[in-house]
Structure 1
């Protein structure tokens, strides 16, 4: 866990966040034991930016392929003053994390300023599932 927090912290230093000034780093460990990290990248056309969690997952998929399984993922965020900020994964990132593991553990700083650890199922209890959709 500490390794992932340190790697997420290092990743956020490379974040491109000139608009929100909210830097986010994420690091994950795969079931194969490999570690991948990513940072958020903003764009003047706001919807085109990307989350740190999705960047880390993309790096992992590139390295391990579509059979990637995530065991844990940690997120760290700081504002421009360097203050730690709460940074639970957004809904889109939660859905993508679940795509690669239904039992991943997600760590982040909660709104109360304390470290939080949740299962992805607890963070996204009613996840979209293509197989359960009727035609």
Structure 2
């Protein structure tokens, strides 16, 4: 079993789409990440009608990683809904891309699973090649 299978298995057991209230929908997007030390952390999307309360699965997993281990570097991330990413699946939103880079600029090397079957990945650096924050480091 490779690391991507481990990440997929850890995330897929979280998939349980449901309404928390008439305003909040949760667990319809799940994520698992591999931290720098090899530990796996998970998270799921918590989506509210008021956008400021929205928390993507990637940011939830990264928050769990930091909260539980104080780590900020991420090697690999897989994110999906009801099935493994295929084609251009698993892409982080702009807020997640920005957050991961602000968490640690070394996360430019973080790999995102694009197509699980083909084991196609893309790095955060490829997704955000000219990050504004480099000048602040």
Give the TM-score taking structure 1 as reference length.
0.75
Aligned 8 A contact 1:28 1:36 in 2: yes
Aligned 8 A contact 1:28 1:73 in 2: yes
Aligned CA RMSD, in angstroms, stands at: 3.1
Mapping of 1:32-111 within 5 angstroms? 32-65=37-70, 67-78=71-82, 86-98=89-101, 99-100=103-104, 101-109=107-115
Report the equivalent of 1:12. 15
Structure with greater proportional helix content? 2
Report the equivalent of 1:132. 135
Shift of 1:47: 3.2
Report the equivalent of 2:124. 120
Gaps of 5+ in 1: none
Q: Could you tell me how far apart the structure 1 residues matched to 2:18 and 2:132 are?
A: 29
- The number of equivalent residue pairs is 126
Q: Could you tell me how far apart the structure 2 residues matched to 1:6 and 1:123 are?
A: 25
| Residue-by-residue CA offset, 1:33-69 (whole Å, 9 max, x unaligned) | 111000000113233111000000000000121x421
Q: Could you tell me how far apart the structure 2 residues matched to 1:39 and 1:31 are?
A: 20
Aligned 8 A contact 2:16 2:28 in 1: yes
Give the TM-score taking structure 2 as reference length.
0.74
SS class of match (1:28): strand
